[in-house]
Amino acid sequence: MKMLINSPETVVADALRGVAAAHPELNVDVERRVVVRRDAREGGRVGLVSGGGSGHEPLHAGFVGYGMLSAACPGDVFTSPVPDQMLRAA
**pLDDT by residue (tens digit) across 19-55?**
999 999 999 999 999 999 998 877 788 889 999 888 8
pTM for the model = 0.86
Distance between CA atoms of residues 69 and 40, nearest Å: 9
Compute CA distances 11 → 18, 38, 73, 80, 89, whole Å: 11, 24, 15, 15, 21
Alpha-helix residue ranges (DSSP H) falling in 23-90: 83-89
Contact 13, 61 (CB under 8 A): no
Delimit the domains of the chain by residue range. 28-89
